[in-house]
Amino acid sequence: MMFCVMDQVPPIEAMVHTGSYHMLVAYCGDMHLWLFGDHHRAFISLGTVPCRFFISCLCYDPETEVLLSGTLGAVVTWLILPNGRDLQMAQTVPVSGHELVQGFSLNGPKGSLLALCENKVRVFTHQGQGQLKEVRKFTPIGSGSSITCSFTCVSQGYFYAGNKDGEIHAWGLDQGNFLHSFQAHSSSVICVHSRPEIHTLLTAGREGTVREWNLAVGNLLRQLDIGEGLRQLQFIDNTTFFCQTIHAFSLHHLPYFYSLFNVCGSAPEQVHRVCCGRNWTRILCATKDGLLRFLSPVTGDLLVLTWPLLVMDKAVAWAYDPDNEELFVATGSSEVLVFDATRSPCTAKYMVCTSVNSRDRVSCLAYAQSHLGMGLVGLMFCGHDSGIVRILSHYSYARIEKTVHSGAVLALSTLEGPQENSLLCSYGMDNTVYLTEALLWKNKVILQSISKILCSCPLQHVILLPGSVGAITDNHCWRLWHYQDFLQSAESKQSSMFEETKCLHQCAITSFDVCSSLKLFVTGGIDGSVRIWDFHGRLITELDSALHFGPLCFANNRGDLLLTFNQSLYLVSCLKLLPPARLIHLAILNNADEIQEDPKLFLPSFFFSFEIVLVPKFVYLGQGLQELQGLEALVNKRVIAFDNTVPHVVEEERRMPSLIQVEPKLHFLEDKDIAFSIPDPKHNHPPHVVPAQLRLAGWNGLNPYHKLHGFFGKGRQWPFAPDGYIPNSVIRACLWPDGTPVFLRHDLYPSYRDTDWDMTEPIRCQTLSPMPLSEENISMRRERDKSKWWKRTFYDVLTSLINRNWAGRKLDEGLLNNLIEAILSLTVYCSIDQYTTYISALAQIFATYQVSPRLCSETACRLLEDTLHPNPCIRELAWEGLDMLGIMSHLFAVPLSLGLMDSDENVRAKALYLMMRVTGIQSKSMLVGLLKEQETLQKMRELIGETSLDQLLGIQANDIQCLLTRVEQQLNENLTLSHRDQQPPFSLDISMDGEPETFVKRTFIPEEITKRKKRMTYVPEKRESLSMYGVINGVYLGPTLGHQKTRSVRPRYLKWGYLGGSVG
């Protein structure tokens, strides 16, 4: 039916329907609103209402029955009169930015109104009677393009908007903070719609494409080409939308049979269901970034994940021991790395070398839950390239091996869950399947062959089932052998009777799993196809989807299916997968629900901050014997960064030192039998001796074997736990009781990078040139003002950057050196608050970046000089700075002895704390013993940067003897000062050749630090660095090596009186 409007109406620019009022409101560019009845009222003209302003858009809110109009700089609300034939202006809400209101959206958070105002989205709430109030605005960062559409996803807590440049912006609903933006289309975005149930975002561009994006990583999942320019796209419900183009109108349906299970952050490569106990399972997922993670099959939550050690790139197989909570990983060699799964992230627990033949690679692993007796609750099997099957165990009587195959073992399989018998199914290169049982015979575990299956074709997947063995053949068929066939052929112990289906896929089957309770199995083809079959090869379900699915497995014994696509896992409910007959059978089974686990807290170990992680390495020698060979050094140069709850692996960009390049192994033990079944306190291990050849090993830096020899030479033994686990903390504490040595460099890298940040080079101080006195006074004032301005500006910038966690930014070496030099120069002349800020900045730099050896020495020298500063606050902060920068070692007991005799109580307390924590010295007798050792001075030649500690301190043997005398006279046994009131005599007599140095005038006028003391700096015409210890003891020891360039002389502050009392 068509109705003709008799009135002459100008071209319509905006029009809206008012719902139950059955009225159309149109704006025609003539400063009037035209009112018409709808088809219920035969489109009759109802009149016009003057509006006195240009209207850019119209919208009707059926909830509040208010008409909304947008114009330049304001939102105007209208009330529809009860007669349904007229309008009344209710409110004009000015827009603070005077932007043009281009459109409205009624899907704002908590029923609010969204106004699209050029490049902003303003949020209004209804106050009643047509009144609005602006409560928030969403502004994109770095984009001035006009907003064209928006969408609010309350369940996810996000707000999305698209603009004319094809960009999508996202904000958080709670805080209104800008989160992210990306380029979605080449032209204007006309629709954005979130699908939280599958964690995707659907966008439409005017160029004629509809795209679906993964919200976890922002990558494109799929695309629909409409074929011509889109004018409008609108969702009718959650799965149906219509498209309006220039010449066509179409409806589209988005069926989804899956729901989001977990976002991995990296592409899953394998997914397995792991039984941990009765009604207790986990999903083990291996991703491309080298992480192994356990997921809850109930919630999909991340329970535990491993740390991304470099060795995980070589992982070829893995298995989980739920009884000991150990995760075994085959590393592509004869070695198996074991993780401690009791914490997250999993720490590397120990390394097992399963064979003395390093070329005998471990190709597969399997765990069987069985109670054989004598404390055995499970067995870990590993298959080798040599055809040998071994059992890995902490018990010597369970460490056995047997040659099962004449070629490499390709697959191992055990029954799921706790079993009475420990059955093992193995398949090898000899194209034979063996069924073996592990038995306890005369206090020893043996492997007894039950039967073997001669295969007529190669197998791709093998699985051991209750009562049968199933396999996927090389020609894509399902083959099944039954136990009764094994028994019938018991005399020959081989079977060739089997059931086989037709070809399941026309391509290679890359994924396979079985749901034994429903007698179903699922296959995934290399083409992304997914099909579910019964054991007779009848097709039950086939997934018809444009998505290319990857690895898969059943989530539980009810038949819920886990699918991987892109970087996420999706769950398909059995209610959508199985036909009614199968669902009835499932209801009859009445399977118990899975136990729901709580995720473990993600608490990375402190030792993950080191470039190497040391783990004990055991070697199996056969006959149930094993050897603790030494410490295996695992390279650690990656960290885990979380994007909300999604873990990502970030590789650190740092230079690998020679220690890691050579991959050292610390060998130290030659015991042949270390059994952990029954700890025997009477068992005495032979002394640990470092082989002579290891003492000659070349190292670029400190040789750790001297420390190892010092430790093992004292007759100590490793503190083994009952399970044979030597914690990393115990290793470090025993090897280096005085602190981590220098060759284990400590780098605490942040978990993200931001390369967009830049910083201009700090202004460098210029050398003063001779000039007349009048000009010099003017120049000095200008320089003083410029210096104050520069230092104040630099301090403000530095404080701002520290608060912004600027240490994660990437700096080139030149800029980093300039920054450190600038900070060091400013520490000479600053207030206490500024000094604190500079020390904090240096601490962040040293913890984040690879600082050059020269600047390490410069910084250490500066802070050591400041420990003798006249201001006690500076002295205390200098000691704290040495600790924060990680410069201190146990040899710092020598300079800390001076701090124990400081005139200020707070400085003495700080020095006492550091003495006990860093050096481990807790009494005067321990300190005196260290100072009396002949090797103390020799040990102080340990490099700090490019300079040794004894050079930094300028100390010699007679200086240590003087310090020893002072310690014996002035310190109590508890390291407190005994004679604080006595002022020891002091005389400074520095004899030099030539005339005394003439100091030029001060470059800067000192500012007050405290009310009584000022921090003064003199710039000598001829610089000469005095040894700290030489000045203290009244003897000139010559210039300190390597620091003549930047050190300035302050001899008048370094007095004996400073050590014993007040400073003159």
Identify whether the C-beta of residue 230 lies closer than 8 Å to the C-beta of residue 243. Answer: yes
Which runs of consecutive H residues, i.e. helices, occur in 235-387? none
- Pick from 204, 194, 201, 197: nearest CA to 252: 204
Q: Which of 84, 118, 138 is the last residue of a domain?
A: 138
CA atoms within 13 A on the CB side of 781: 5
Q: Is residue 454 part of a domain?
A: yes
**Per the structure block, which two tokens stand in for 692?**
């002579």
| Mean pLDDT, contiguous 10-residue spans, the chain (1064 residues) | 61 88 89 87 85 90 90 92 86 87 88 89 89 89 86 89 92 86 91 86 92 80 83 85 85 83 90 90 94 94 93 93 93 93 90 89 93 83 94 88 93 89 92 91 87 88 92 92 67 66 91 92 92 92 85 93 90 91 88 88 80 87 83 88 84 46 36 32 37 30 34 42 54 53 37 31 33 48 54 61 53 79 81 86 80 85 86 90 82 86 90 86 87 79 71 76 86 81 37 36 36 35 33 31 35 29 29
Does any domain span residue 667?
yes
One-letter amino acid for residue 23 of the chain? M
For the record, the structure tokens of 10 come out as 């100008």
| 100 occurs within a structural domain | yes
Residue 531: which residues within 8 A CB-CB, separation 6 or more? 504, 505, 522, 523, 525, 539, 541, 542, 543
What pairs with residue 283 in β-bridges?
A: 273, 295
Which of 138, 164, 185 is the C-terminal boundary of a domain?
138
In order of 539, 541, 544, 574, 1064, the CA distances from 579 in angstroms are 11, 8, 16, 9, 95
What region, left, alpha or beta, does residue 628 occupy, with left being phi > 0 and alpha being psi -120 to 50 degrees?
Answer: beta
Q: How many residues make up the chain in this entry?
A: 1064
The CA-atom distances, in angstroms, between 440 and each of 26, 321, 466, 911 are 89, 19, 22, 61
Q: Which of 625, 852, 616, 840 is nearest to 728 (CA)?
A: 616
Task: Supply the pTM of this predicted model.
Answer: 0.59
Residue with tokens 């902490």: 394
End-to-end CA distance of the chain: 107
Distance CA 918, CA 757 (A): 36
Residue 456: how many other CB atoms lie within 10 Å: 10
In sequence order, what E strands does 311-431 have?
317-321, 326-330, 335-340, 347-353, 362-373, 376-384, 388-392, 401-403, 409-413, 422-428
Q: What is the dihedral of CA 355, 358, 363, 369, to 10 degrees?
A: 20
Question: How many C-beta neighbours within 10 Å does residue 602 have?
Answer: 15
Residue found by looking up tokens 């199995």 in the block: 521
Same domain, 1037 and 909: yes
Helix (H, G, I), strand (E, B) or coil at 989: coil
Provide the domain limits for residue 29. Answer: 1-138
Domain membership of residue 710 (yes or no) is yes
Which pLDDT belongs to residue 612? 83
Tell me the β-bridge partners of 944.
947
Structure tokens at 830: 């600053």
Q: What share of the chain is helix, strand, coil (3-state, %, to 5)?
A: 20, 35, 45
Q: What is the total count of domains within the chain?
A: 4
> How does strand 432-440 pair with strand 422-428?
antiparallel
User: Are 892 and 1031 found together in one domain?
Assistant: yes
CB-neighbour burial class of residue 821 (10 A; exposed 0-12, middle 13-18, buried 19+)? middle
Q: For residue 372, what are the contacts with CB-CB under 8 A and spacing of at least 6?
A: 379, 422, 438, 439, 440, 445
Q: Look up residue 793 and give its two tokens.
A: 């500006």
The Cα–Cα gap between 493 and 502 comes to 28
H helix count then E strand count, the chain? 20, 59
Q: Tokens standing for 965?
A: 């005398």
Task: Specify whether the CB–CB gap between 117 and 78 falls below 8 A.
Answer: no
- The phi and psi torsions of 46 (rounded to 5 degrees) equal -105, -5
Which residues, 6 or more positions from 204, have their beta carbon under 8 angstroms from its beta carbon?
Answer: 185, 189, 190, 191, 192, 210, 211, 230, 233, 243
Please tell me the predicted confidence (pLDDT) of residue 622: 81
Coil, helix or strand for 602? strand
Q: Which helix (H) or strand (E) holds 308?
A: none
Reported as type and span, the H/E element at residue 819 is: helix 813-827
The confidence score (pLDDT) of residue 488 equals 57
Angle between helices 893-900 and 924-932 (to 10 degrees): 130
Whether 846 is in a domain gets the answer no
Sheet holding 388-392, edge to edge: 362-373, 376-384, 388-392, 401-403
| C-alpha–C-alpha distance, residues 56 and 134, integer Å | 19
User: Is residue 68 in a domain?
Assistant: yes
Task: Work out the burial of residue 66: count CB atoms within 10 Å of its CB; fewer than 13 is exposed, 13-18 middle, 19 or more buried.
Answer: buried
Confirm whether 747 is domain-assigned. Answer: no
Cα dihedral 109/111/112/117 (nearest 10) = 80
> Which residue is it, tokens 């610089």?
1023
Q: Label the pairing between strands 240-245 and 230-235.
A: antiparallel
* 816 within some domain: no
CA 546 – CA 1001 distance, rounded (Å): 81
Q: Burial code of 277-296, b = ≥16 C-beta within 10 A, e = fewer?
A: eeeebbbbbbbebbbbbbbb
Between CA 100 and CA 809 the distance in angstroms is: 39
Is the distance from CB of 352 to CB of 620 less than 8 angstroms? yes
Give me the residue label for tokens 């520490």: 827
Rounded distance between C-alpha atoms, residue 305 and residue 311, angstroms = 15
Domain boundary among 436, 468, 500: 500
